[in-house]
Copies of this chain bind each other. A is one copy, B any other.
Amino acid sequence: MSNRTGALGRYLPWLDWGRQYHREWFANDMIAAVIVTLMLIPQSLAYAMLANLPPQIGLYASILPLVAYALFGTSRTLAVGPVAVASLMSAAAAGHVAMPGTPAFYEASILLAFLGGAMLVVLSLIRAGAIGNLLSHPVVSGFIIASAVLIAAGQIKYLFGVSAKGDTLVAIIASLSGALAATHTITLLIGAACLIFLLAVRKYGKAALSAAGLSPRAADIAVKAGPVLTVIVSTLVVSLFNLQTQGVKVVGHIPASLPSLTLPSLNLAQVKSLLLPAFLIALIGFVESVSVGHTLGAKRRQRIDPNQELMGLGAANIASALSGGYSVTGGFARSVVNFDAGAETPLAGVFTAVGILIVTVAFTPYLANLPQATLAATIIVAVLSLVRFDILREVWNYSKADFAAVAATIIVVLTAGVELGVLAGVILSILLLLAKISKPHIAVTGRVPGTDHYRNILRHNVIQSDSVLSLRVDESLYFPNARYLEDALLALVTERPGVQHVVLQASAINDIDSSALESLESIETSFKDMGVTLHLSEVKGPVMDKLRNTHFLTHLRGQVFLSHDQAMKALDPAIAADAASQP
């Protein structure tokens, strides 16, 4: 992305692409917008249902937020709107403060979007795009997998036309198992038909359409219209046979009016209790959006600025709240469709907004007989693609510690709910990182005969010195490992009464924080009491710059050697003699 508009273009990215805008882009953006609109209609209705909100709220969340993101977001192709995981989280959080279906619940959902948006804007202003780094990839993966399972389980009641509830997998299953006896057969038939059709389209649709003469890309995009087809057909079927009067639950009357712009009611007690969930919804949404934005941007050598993305998503959520919508973020599937359909700029999003606007004012009366079972089938098929066990297997193979964090996240999400699940995952991944850092690899090294290299005595056949202990620390020195370093060095020296010098090879030490500096001082003091001198070798430039003028370095009795070999030869005549005897 060129940067002709300078600093301002950084904050208002449309200044950049806006002046280059031309006719071909317009055509491409329009085509993409039509396709995304078709995809978004059933999704916005379905995710509103998932968020325990009336269907029009999903439509409201798909108009202004898209315009706001187009103004401030940096991704050219990210498709913002209601998504499954944020809808589930919103339902759970609002459910803590009000009963679903009440005005208070709706207000809480709006407030969640507003608070989340405001926090994202503040984070953007303080350039805290790095906040997304609090979440490790495996934890996010685990969270999404578990959320998808929860979401799918929660939709089963609509497929069977029964009543059930629960925020955890156990509660949902328990509630369902009691309710399934009252299964409504016609509803189940509609739901099962939709589900089978959608799964079939997903699996065979592309091949079938290609065989029918469509280009692979067109076929790929066309299958995304599957949900729209189920919406139309099932609504028609219900209307024709008046099935809504026979107990098939439908979405009912959707007001064909535009959202009215209002400020959310800022009740302080409610703000306080929604602050943490709002933050978690916003954080998860941000991490997912940036990840999608990156993936798509890279395909066209376009860059995403995480700090500016905070602003784009923050503005989108505030716009959603002000226009009666709920939490939004960049959706993965929808963005890929937008990209594949040829969207060139965020104007495609604006056109999509216009599309949803038209649907809202003109087509909602026709959706009154849309069965809830159809939407449930849409949701289930959409989230099933999020359940990727291959990610779990990969993490398991690569790192058992990381897998523990994922497993904990999944278990907590399924048994205690989404919020505690994210928190558990975040805390556990930080603790595991601290644990990893806290036990750095410290190798006792020896001289590889005939070279000036020093290697781990446990792995190589090397020459060791009796009086000089040669060590290498393979980690930066930070507070989590400061005391470990102290313990380890004192233990190594205590075990070797003959040692008079210790040389610490610092080539892998990229930073030393204040705690570690204090530990080095304390090691130096302890060594002094033990009659041992501490030396350093191969200290990196930036680390040396920091150490200069510190109490530690001015009081260090030993030397700082440029190379480890030089240190060993200077301190142990035997090593020097051995080195000299070699060619």
**A→B interface (CB under 8 Å):** 130, 132-138, 290, 294-295, 297-301, 303-304, 306, 394-395, 397-399, 401-402, 429-430, 433-436, 438-441, 459, 474-476, 478-484, 486-487, 490-491, 494, 507-508, 510-511, 513-515, 517-519, 522, 525-526, 529-530, 540-542, 546, 549-551
Smallest CB–CB gap between A187 and chain B, Å? Answer: 41
Residues of B within 8 A of A491 (CB): 303
Cβ-defined contact, A434 with B430, below 8 A = yes
Known A303-B491, A397-B549; 8 more pairs at CB < 8 Å: A136-B479, A298-B526, A298-B529, A300-B529, A398-B514, A441-B510, A475-B476, A508-B510
Smallest CB–CB gap between A332 and chain B, Å? Answer: 14
Q: Given the complex of chains A and B, what is the CA–CA distance between A399 and B516 in angstroms?
A: 12
Cβ-defined contact, A510 with B136, below 8 A = no
Which of A300, A430, A519 counts the most chain B CB atoms within 10 A?
Answer: A430
Cβ-defined contact, A515 with B137, below 8 A = yes
Q: Given the complex of chains A and B, what is the CA–CA distance between A459 and B365 in angstroms?
A: 68
Residues of B within 8 A of A483 (CB): 132-133, 290, 306
Which chain B residue lies CB-closest to A475? Answer: B510
Cβ-defined contact, A510 with B402, below 8 A = no
Q: Given the complex of chains A and B, what is the CA–CA distance between A481 and B136 in angstroms?
A: 10
Residues of B within 8 A of A429 (CB): 479
Known: A430-B430, A482-B133, A529-B299. A514 touches B438 (CB 8 A): no
Residues of B within 8 A of A518 (CB): 137-138
Which of A137, A294, A546, A550 counts the most chain B CB atoms within 10 A?
Answer: A137
Cβ-defined contact, A133 with B487, below 8 A = no
Cβ-defined contact, B438 with A402, below 8 A = no
Cβ-defined contact, B514 with A136, below 8 A = yes
Counted per complex, copies of this chain come to 2
Residues of B within 8 A of A433 (CB): 434, 478-480, 513
Q: Given the complex of chains A and B, what is the CA–CA distance between A508 and B398 in angstroms?
A: 20
Residues of B within 8 A of A438 (CB): 130, 133
Residues of B within 8 A of A300 (CB): 529
Residues of B within 8 A of A481 (CB): 133
Q: Give me 26 A-to-B residue pairs in the complex whose CB atoms sit less than 8 angstroms apart, sorted by A's number.
A: A130-B435, A130-B439, A130-B480, A130-B484, A133-B438, A133-B479, A133-B481, A133-B484, A134-B434, A136-B479, A136-B513, A137-B479, A138-B515, A295-B526, A299-B529, A304-B487, A306-B487, A394-B551, A395-B514, A401-B513, A402-B514, A430-B434, A433-B480, A433-B513, A436-B478, A475-B476
Q: Given the complex of chains A and B, what is the CA–CA distance between A439 and B542 in angstroms?
A: 15
Which chain B residue lies CB-closest to A543? Answer: B474
Cβ-defined contact, B490 with A294, below 8 A = yes
Q: Given the complex of chains A and B, what is the CA–CA distance between A227 and B189 in angstroms?
A: 88
Residues of B within 8 A of A529 (CB): 298-301
The 8 closest A-B pairs by CB, nearest first: A298-B526, A136-B479, A137-B515, A402-B514, A133-B480, A299-B529, A474-B510, A136-B515
Residues of B within 8 A of A550 (CB): 394, 397-398
Of the candidates B490, B511, B514, B525, the one whose C-beta lies within 8 Å of that of A303 is: B490
Smallest CB–CB gap between A303 and chain B, Å? Answer: 6
Which of A134, A300, A481 counts the most chain B CB atoms within 10 A?
Answer: A134
Residues of B within 8 A of A132 (CB): 483
Smallest CB–CB gap between A2 and chain B, Å? Answer: 11
Which chain B residue lies CB-closest to A430? Answer: B430
Smallest CB–CB gap between A161 and chain B, Å? Answer: 41
Residues of B within 8 A of A476 (CB): 475-476
Cβ-defined contact, A298 with B525, below 8 A = yes
Smallest CB–CB gap between A442 and chain B, Å? Answer: 11
Residues of B within 8 A of A401 (CB): 513
Of the candidates B137, B299, B480, the one whose C-beta lies within 8 Å of that of A514 is: B137
Residues of B within 8 A of A542 (CB): 441
Q: Given the complex of chains A and B, what is the CA–CA distance between A294 and B399 in angstroms?
A: 33
Cβ-defined contact, A399 with B513, below 8 A = yes
Q: Given the complex of chains A and B, what is the CA–CA distance between A136 and B437 in angstroms?
A: 13
Cβ-defined contact, A137 with B395, below 8 A = no
Cβ-defined contact, B137 with A494, below 8 A = no
Q: Given the complex of chains A and B, what is the CA–CA distance between A136 and B481 in angstroms?
A: 10
Smallest CB–CB gap between A457 and chain B, Å? Answer: 14
Residues of B within 8 A of A399 (CB): 513-514, 546
Residues of B within 8 A of A479 (CB): 133, 135-137, 429, 433
Residues of B within 8 A of A295 (CB): 522, 525-526
